[in-house]
Amino acid sequence: MKKFLYSTYTKFAAAALCVIFISAAMLGAVDGFIKFCEDDKSVYEFEASFEDSRLVDTMLSGAEAAVYNAYFNYAGQSGEDTEKTGGTALDKYLKNMLSSSLYKADEVNYYVSINDKVYTNCGAKSAKDLENTRFYRYYSRDKNGRVTREGTTDMTYNRVLTESISDFVGDTDAVTICANISDEYAQTLEEAWNNQAEIIKDIFVKTAVYVILIVLLLIYLVCVSGKSKDGETHLMWLDHIWTEVHLALMVGAAVAAAAACAVLLDGYQQSHFPAYMLRAVTTASAAAGGAVLITSGLSIVRKIKCRSFIKTSIICRIVKWCFGIFVKILRWIWKKLKRCKDAAKIIVSKKSSAMSVAALLIYTAVISVCGVLVLETGGASVIIGVMLFCVGAFVLANRGGDIDKVRVGAAEIRNGNLNYKISEVKSSDIKALAENINEIGDGLNKTAAAKLKAERLKTDLITNVSHDLKTPLTSIISYTELLSKVEGLPEEAKDYAAVIAKKSESLKNLTQDLFEVSKVQSGNETFVTEKLDAALLIAQTLGERDNEIQGSDLKFCVNTDKDLFFIADGRKMSRVMGNLIDNALKYAMKGTRVFVQAFERENDVVIEVKNVSAYPMDFDAEEITGRFVRGDKSRTNEGNGLGLAIAKGYVEACGGSFDIIIDGDLFKALIRFERL
């Protein structure tokens, strides 16, 4: 199927069918025109029905037009404003107008009465004699100016005639106009109207069918033109002709075909050409014009598909060439302006404080002179002053730009961007300052890199050592447990074994905590985030440490809001809360209350643990979250100083914030996460 659609023969057949359909449509239109012209009188003018026929309306209004023209001519020639009726001139004009019309007694009858003077072509005694027909028109104006209109058809056409008669008729004149069409003649006209309407309808139907077929074939040709069955686009030899030539051929063919058809149709109406010649020549003209339009049009389509439309267009190539010249001119102007700008910058950049002061003094002196001369020179001094101001503004703006670059660079280095470099400073003195700041940034960068390297080495050392201690510690704990179970062991030896077991367990916990905090700070810890409920997290932590809480002399006050959800690692956050509760159990003053709260603040979930310290807190809030830092400086209590460091590392790694607030003896730990 695809091979058939993209076949050259199929495309040629489709184009040939288009030409044939165009010729057939033209032939059908010409045949209809010939049939239409065979009638003696053209009646049909696209009215909805014969009763709305324009010809009928024109015939019925002929008598009114004759009266109007007679009055108009009489008034124009006599120039009199009174006694316009009854004169021989008006009577002559009216008779000429009525007799010059194409009225025939057996076709259109009329009755005109002006002040009892009657004009008729059918011997009617009054207007009533003409009303008993299918089509009639009646107009009457009495001596009082009252107008009456009647008729069997729409009287809107040519009503301006009857409305304008009053402008010429005297105020006391009585005018009656009546006209009708005989029933026999009306029937003849209706038959002609129906015949002509059927001809026009037949022409439209056939033409519409041909147009639809032509459009479908053209759509097919546009889609497949220039394409092969493999989907590749290619041009024909015809497509290498200039695009404007194709457009000229299309316009010329359309105009020539239309002109030929118009001339031939007019010649046929004038009986200059026979019907067979009209059919042959108009059909050939339509075929030739259609062939040229289709051939050139499809050539343009192929050019567009192959993206060669501009390449084969004279106008497009001229426009492209002009645009290229215009761009070159703009680039040349830009280079010249850039050179002037660079030269001005070089001159302005070579300055110092003394040069700036000197330039300011000279500028002030020149402005003062211009102010003195302004009365004598008028606007010239003002223009010079404005120009000098622009020069001074340019100098200051250039120097201000250099200072702003230095300011931005210093701010970047202060904010930690040690790799930032200040560049493109033109002023020599400010350039030296920028270079010094860049060197300071390099020094700080080297120092930070060395510190980061030392911190990384320290973290690796702690991680490796804590990992290497696990195996001997496990052996010590195991053998201590076996030793304590030996029968017959002296009590003193059992006490020693218990002490060894307790200290070994503490050392194991210390090693494990040290290993975890090193992993967090080095970024090697794996986190599995999930949706957590703050109230549930606090309740589980307090439940796990219920025995320790009950054995302490502390009262835990818990207040948590509901539906406080956030994203974090559940296992790590359980460890964080456990460390905070353990910290309160170790360092809170006995007999006091420990407050554990969870609430919302600024669309964040906040978990707060606060207690009164049993020891003086003579340390910084940032210091307490470091490794091996304890609130009990004497280290008489249990703890290794890693709990808060682990808590801070886990919270920040999960995307939250961990803060310590110290207010006298009040110790407060705050955890903040974005609320879901």
**With b meaning 16 or more CB within 10 Å and e meaning fewer, what string describes 15-24?**
beebbebbbb
pLDDT in tens, 597-616: 999 998 899 999 999 988 88
Indicate the average pLDDT of the chain.
Answer: 77
pLDDT of residue 79: 47
Q: b/e string for 618-656 if b means 16 or more Cβ within 10 A?
A: ebeeeebbebebbbeeeeeeebbbbbbbbbbbbbebbeb
- Structural element, H or E, at residue 458: helix 428-484
Q: Give the C-alpha separation, 437 to 422, whole Å.
A: 8
Which pLDDT value is given to residue 80?
Answer: 46
Query: What angle in degrees, to the nearest 10, is found between the helix axes of 428-484 and 379-414?
Result: 20
Q: Is residue 323 part of a domain?
A: no
Average of per-residue pLDDT across 661-676:
90
Phi, psi values for residue 232, rounded to 5°: -85, 145
Residue 432 has a CB neighbour count (10 Å cut-off) of 11
What is the rounded distance in angstroms from the CA atom of residue 175 to the CA atom of residue 140? 6
Average pLDDT estimate for 618-635: 59
Q: Are 392 and 420 in contact (CB under 8 A)?
A: no
Query: Cα 315 from chain centroid?
Result: 32
Does residue 120 carry a pLDDT above 80?
yes
pLDDT confidence tier of residue 539, bands split at 50, 70 and 90: very high
pLDDT digits (tens, 9 = 90+) for 429-449: 677 777 788 888 788 878 877
Contacts for 294 with CB less than 8 Å, ≥ 6 apart: 15, 18, 19, 218, 221
User: What's the CATH number where 552 sits?
Assistant: 3.30.565.10
The residue among 261 and 650 whose pLDDT is bigger is: 650
Looking at residues 303-330, what average pLDDT do you find? Answer: 82
Do both 538 and 656 map to the same domain?
A: yes
Treating both helix axes as pointing N-terminal to C-terminal, what angle do 8-38 and 243-269 enclose, rounded to 10 degrees?
30
**Mean pLDDT on 588-595:** 92
Q: What is the pLDDT of residue 81?
A: 42
Q: Based on the domain organization, do 220 and 263 belong to the same domain?
A: yes
Which amino acid is it at 225? S
How many structural domains compose the chain? 4
| 634-664 residue pLDDT tens | 444 555 567 788 888 889 888 899 999 888 8
pLDDT greater than 70 at residue 487: yes
Nearest to 581 by CA among 613, 604, 549: 549
Of 22-31, 124-133, 528-537, the one with minimum mean pLDDT is 22-31
Residue where one domain finishes, among candidates 278, 305, 332: 305
143 token code pair: 């001596």
Q: Tell me which of 305, 332, 365 is where a domain ends.
A: 305
Question: Does 216 share its domain with 266?
Answer: yes
User: Quick check: 579 and 658 in contact, CB under 8 A?
Assistant: no
Domain boundary at 305, 325, 341, which?
A: 305
Q: Do 280 and 384 reside in the same domain of the chain?
A: no
The SS3 assignment for 568 reads strand
Q: Is residue 50 part of a domain?
A: no
Pair (568, 621) in one structural domain: yes
632 inside domain: yes
CA 256 to chain centre: 45
pLDDT value, residue 63: 81
Residues 534/538/539/540 CA torsion (nearest 10 deg): 100
Over residues 40-63, the mean pLDDT reads 79
Q: Where are the beta strands (DSSP E) in 10-143?
A: 108-114, 117-120, 135-141
Does one domain contain both 8 and 73? no
Of the pLDDT bands very low, low, confident and very high (cuts 50, 70, 90), residue 169 is low
Which pLDDT score is estimated for 245?
A: 81
Looking at the structure, do residues 265 and 375 belong to the same domain, yes or no?
no
Q: Within this chain, do residues 536 and 670 fall inside the same structural domain, yes or no? A: yes
Residue among 143, 87, 84, 136 at smallest CA distance from 109: 136
Q: What is the tens place of the pLDDT at every residue in 362-379?
A: 767 776 766 666 555 555
Q: Residue 486 — very low, low, confident or very high, per pLDDT cuts 50/70/90?
A: confident
Q: According to the model, what pLDDT value does residue 581 have?
A: 92
Read off the tokens for 610: 């606060």
Report which residue type is found at 30: V
User: Three-state SS for 227?
Assistant: strand
Cross-strand partners of 444: none
Return the bridge partners of 668, or none: 610, 661
Could you tell me the pLDDT band of residue 263, with boundaries at 50, 70 and 90? confident
Q: d(Cα 280, Cα 118) in Å, to the nearest integer? A: 56
CA distance 156 to 361: 91
Query: What distance in Å separates the CA atoms of residue 161 and residue 273, rounded to the nearest whole number?
Result: 40
**What is the per-residue pLDDT for 634?**
45
What amino acid is encoded at 382 in this protein? V
Range of the domain at 227: 2-37+192-305
Tokens of 81: 């404003």
Average pLDDT estimate for 66-70: 79
Q: Is 559 in the same domain as 586? A: yes
Round to the nearest angstrom and report the end-to-end CA distance of the chain. 60
Considering the domain architecture, whether residues 282 and 173 belong to the same structural domain is answered as: no
- pTM of this prediction? 0.39
Token pair in block for residue 135: 């089509």
Query: Looking at the predicted structure, is the pLDDT value of residue 381 above 70?
Result: no
SS3 667: strand
Instruction: Tell whether 262 is covered by a domain.
Output: yes
The DSSP secondary structure of 261-326, one letter per residue, reads HHHHHHHHHTT-S-HHHHHHHHHHHHHHHHHHHHHHHHHHHHHHHTT-TTTT-HHHHHHHHHHHHH
pLDDT exceeds 80 at position 552: yes
Domain for residue 669, yes or no? yes
Please state, in angstroms and as integers, the Cα–Cα distance from residue 606 to each residue in 541, 561, 609, 665, 672, following that order: 16, 10, 10, 22, 5
* Domain-embedded: residue 670: yes
Tokens of 124: 């009617």
For the chain, the C-alpha Rg in angstroms (whole number) is 55
Which residue, among 561, 662, 543, 547, has the nearest Cα to 607 in the 3D structure? 561
Q: Is the pLDDT of residue 623 over 90?
A: no
Least confident of 214-218, 536-540, 549-553: 214-218
Confirm whether 651 is domain-assigned: yes
What is the arithmetic mean of pLDDT over 174-202?
Answer: 85
Same domain, 66 and 169: yes
Does any domain span residue 663?
Answer: yes
Q: Which residue has the higher pLDDT, 80 or 19?
A: 19
Helix (H) or strand (E) holding 410: helix 379-414
User: Tell me, what's the pLDDT at 593?
Assistant: 94
User: SS3 string of 128-196?
Assistant: HHHCCCCEEEEEEECCCCCEEEEECCCCCCCHHHHHHHCCCCCCCCCEEEEEEECHHHHHHHHHHHHHH
The answer to whether the beta carbons of residues 151 and 138 sit under 8 Å apart is yes
d(C-alpha 509, C-alpha 458), whole Å: 20
531 and 641 assigned to the same domain: yes
